[in-house]
DNA sequence: TATTGTTATACTCTATAACTATA
DNA sequence: TATAGTTATAGAGTATAACAATA
């Protein structure tokens, strides 16, 4: 009976934990989207992800971008189309392997990256400032990242 | 010089932490959506959120659902429309305050909730099973949830 | 005037699957 | 046959703002 109560309490703890995770996740989405919206960069969150991962590189293939951003390949084509339409990235074929497309920042894209990336990091930092133990956070988040 | 190096290292730590958070967030989205897709319930993740928060209640107002799910009111109308179209929820006006709409599970919605909610929790639990220290997780996630 | 919820618009992202071109 | 990326389809969620009804 007492054991049953304990199990129920543990189940409730777990559900509470998952609700917190889901809400944290959702708030992160909203916060992330809001940062980009308020920045006036004209980027959506997925577009910014792509720009940020292309920054300080000589270009990446679509597969590499997919690996880093977790954006599905079908979706990625559309995101890159829009960034290309804004003149922020350009595409060219790989010389060795005809199947591969290299995506890279244009000069305008690089200027945007140089301006927006530090701002983005700074806004996140401000939000996280209250964090008590950075090392614990790092190691724990690594675990969470591995779970999903 | 050494101080500068340290600061740079700290900045890099922070960026790594944020990248992990962003990836954890994205993976959670994908995992969450996949659970519902594979369950055959026909629910999207936001729809499931609404069904789950209505479970074991006598109905909630749209504002209350918004508070719990963080789904914007404009979006919520559409989500509820789709759930109503499936016969899973119903709406009625509040007797006291004519502005308020009460949303509640239908019998079919409640059956879905009773069946899917435990499954959902169980799948999350399986995923989280590797977690080393539940208490640490709970307290840390609480912090993250408060940050965003 | 403020609040609750709906409607309208326009867009982005999403999954899925078929498809092209190349390896 | 397998891989890289595009295209096509259909739908869902999103922000935003204007709106109606009620308090």
SS3 of residue B102 by DSSP:
strand
Q: Is the dihedral of CA A22, A23, A26, A27 positive or negative?
A: negative
Å from A74 (CA) to D15 (C1')? 24
Q: Closest partner residue to B24 among A15, A128, A141, by Cβ?
A: A141
Residue A75, domain CATH = 1.10.10.10
- Predicted local confidence at residue B104, as pLDDT: 97
Full residue range of the structural domain in which residue B88 is found: 2-129
SS3 of residue A103 by DSSP:
strand
Query: What residue in A sits closest to B68 (Cα-Cα)?
Result: A23
Question: Number of folded domains in chain B?
Answer: 1
Question: Does some domain include residue A5?
Answer: no
A-chain residues within 8 Å CB-CB of B49?
Answer: 22
- Predicted local confidence at residue A105, as pLDDT: 97
Q: What is the pLDDT of residues B65-78, one digit of tens each?
A: 999 999 989 999 99
Residue of least CA–C1' distance to D14: B75
DSSP letter assigned to residue B96: S
Question: Does some domain include residue B78?
Answer: yes
pTM as predicted: 0.87
Chain C positions within 7 A of any protein Cβ atom are 3-9, 12-18, 21-23
Low-confidence ranges of chain A (pLDDT < 70): 1-5, 130-148
C-alpha A142/C-alpha A144 separation (Å) is 5
Question: Does some domain include residue B138?
Answer: no
Facing residues of A115 across strands? none
Q: What is the pLDDT of residues B86-115, one digit of tens each?
A: 999 999 999 999 999 999 999 999 999 999
Q: Residue B49: enclosing H or E segment and its boundaries?
A: helix B45-54
Facing residues of B91 across strands? B103
Q: Closest partner residue to B138 among A13, A128, A148, by Cβ?
A: A13
Is B13–A138 a contact, with Cβ atoms under 8 angstroms apart?
yes
Is B140–A137 a contact, with Cβ atoms under 8 angstroms apart?
yes
The residue to which tokens 């940020």 are assigned: A52
Question: Does some domain include residue A12?
Answer: no
Q: How confident is the model at residue B29 (pLDDT cuts 50, 70, 90)?
A: confident
Interface probe for B, chosen from A125, A139, A143 (most Cβ of B below 10 Å), is A143
- Predicted local confidence at residue B11, as pLDDT: 78
- Predicted local confidence at residue B94, as pLDDT: 92
Question: Does some domain include residue B22?
Answer: yes
A83, A47 Cβ separation under 8 angstroms: yes
CB-based contacts of A140: which residues, under 8 Å, 6+ apart?
A: B136, B137, B140
Is B148–A13 a contact, with Cβ atoms under 8 angstroms apart?
no
SS3 of residue B100 by DSSP:
coil
B-chain residues within 8 Å CB-CB of A20?
Answer: 138, 141-142, 144-145
Question: Does some domain include residue A8?
Answer: no
Question: Does some domain include residue A138?
Answer: yes
Question: Does some domain include residue B80?
Answer: yes
The residue to which tokens 């989207």 are assigned: A33
Q: Comparing C-alpha atoms, which of B94, B20, B1 is closest to residue A141? A: B20
């Amino acid at each position: 009976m007492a054991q049953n109560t304990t199990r129920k309490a543990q189940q409730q703890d777990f559900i509470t934990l998952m609700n917190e995770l889901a809400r944290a996740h959702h708030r992160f989405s909203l916060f992330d989207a809001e940062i980009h919206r308020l920045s006036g960069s004209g980027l959506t969150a997925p577009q910014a992800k792509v720009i940020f991962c292309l920054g300080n590189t000589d270009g990446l293939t679509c597969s590499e971008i997919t690996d880093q951003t977790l954006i599905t390949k079908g979706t990625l084509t559309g995101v890159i189309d829009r960034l290309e339409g804004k003149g922020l990235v350009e595409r060219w074929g790989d010389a060795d392997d005809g199947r591969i497309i290299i995506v890279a920042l244009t000069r305008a894209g690089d200027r945007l990256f140089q301006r927006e990336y530090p701002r983005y990091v700074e806004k996140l930092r401000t939000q996280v400032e209250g964090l008590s133990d950075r090392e614990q956070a790092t190691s724990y988040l690594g675990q969470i990242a591995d779970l999903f």
